[in-house]
Amino acid sequence: MKLAYYPGCVAQESGKELDLATRWVCRALGIELAEFPTFSCCGSGFVDEANEVLNVAINTRNLAIAERAGLDLLTICSTCQGMLTLANVRLQDPAVKRRVDGALKPLGIEYRGSVKVKHLLRVLTEDVGLAAVKAKVVRPLNGLKVGAFYGCHLLRPADEMQWESGEEPHAFEDLLEAVGATPVYYRGRVMCCGFPIQFVKAETAQRIAAHQIDDAKAHGADAMATPCPLCHISLDSFQNQAARTVGHRLDLPVFHLPQVVGLALGASPEELGLARHLVPTGPALAKVAPSLRA
């Protein structure tokens, strides 16, 4: 299987561990990643707020790059997944398409609409398949209770994202079971991490993040795992501030999705960049194998 790899901005910079883990897992599962230094940022939902048509146009350019190569697109971020899918959807509006074409055609960019945008979670659960993932597990995550945290844009609006239920998804929990972990079901798993307003009103954003972390803990989670590096920033990089805002300790490790899979497939903590997390992953790793250290 060969896919156009769209790492997104964060995984190329401060979330480098997500990129590391993705490459490791894809290598292990025989997914070939085609790279394109021409890809731009997806706009992260913020460009969509400032200028909807511009946002569709820059993502149409990204989609056209994959289409020229004859490949579907692999995302590793719920927000990238959402914005690129949204471009595919909004282009069906003739008025939007006319304006986007008006900007792209003079550049020789034409997009016919053939590219499927697929998040790694979907590729692992549907294209690779749970049985094939399970067959490669060498270090089952037995005893590790993990609260999946989906990230809004992977799911919603569900009629536009055209995949899982917007409120009751199960793909991530299915994957966690396949690698031997025990999925924890909690309301917060489909809620917002607070990230979009981290720079608007930090305290509110942190209260929202803390709420989901507390919810996962109350349901027995040893760790959370997310398919979105922006959620990871909110839940891991800013967890100390969230704890301060709500006035109690949180101390819950947060994995990126491919780190959880990579661990089960035998990757070392170094290969998955686990030492780069702000909240130490050691206590969760110890549940998998006493010898594991971040």
Binding site for another protein (CB under 8 A): 9-10, 12-16, 37-41, 43-54, 57-58, 61, 99-100, 102-104, 106-107, 109, 152-153, 156-158, 166-168, 187, 190-192, 194, 196-197, 199-201, 204, 207-208, 211, 237-238, 240-241, 275-278
Shortest Cβ 81–another protein spacing (Å): 13
Distance CA 224, CA 232 (A): 10
Token pair for 220: 């027995």
Q: Residue 153 Cβ, how far from another protein at the closest point, in Å?
A: 8
Residues 172, 125: Cα–Cα separation, whole Å: 8
Task: Label each residue of 4-63 as H, E or C.
Answer: EEECHHHHHCCCHHHHHHHHHHHHHHCCEEEECCCCCCCCCCHHHHHCHHHHHHHHHHHH
Q: Smallest distance, Å, CB 46 to another protein?
A: 4
Task: Pick between residue 136 and residue 219 the one whose CB is nearest to another protein.
Answer: 219
The sign of the dihedral angle between the CA atoms of 116, 117, 122, 123 is positive
Nearer to another protein, 108 or 290 (CB): 108
Comparing CB distances to another protein, the nearer of 83 and 263 is 83
Taking the complex as a whole, how short is the minimal distance between the CB of residue 129 and another protein, in angstroms? Answer: 23
Residue number with CB closer to another protein (43 or 258): 43
Task: Give 126 or 167: the residue with its C-beta nearer to another protein.
Answer: 167
Q: How far is the CB of 95 from another protein (least distance, A)?
A: 10
Rounded Cα–Cα distance for residues 49 and 52 (Å): 6
Q: How far is the CB of 135 from another protein (least distance, A)?
A: 29
d(CA 4, CA 66): 6
3-state secondary structure of 194: coil
- The CA dihedral of 166, 171, 174, 175, to the nearest 10 degrees, is -140
Q: For another protein, give the closer residue by CB, 3 or 279.
A: 279
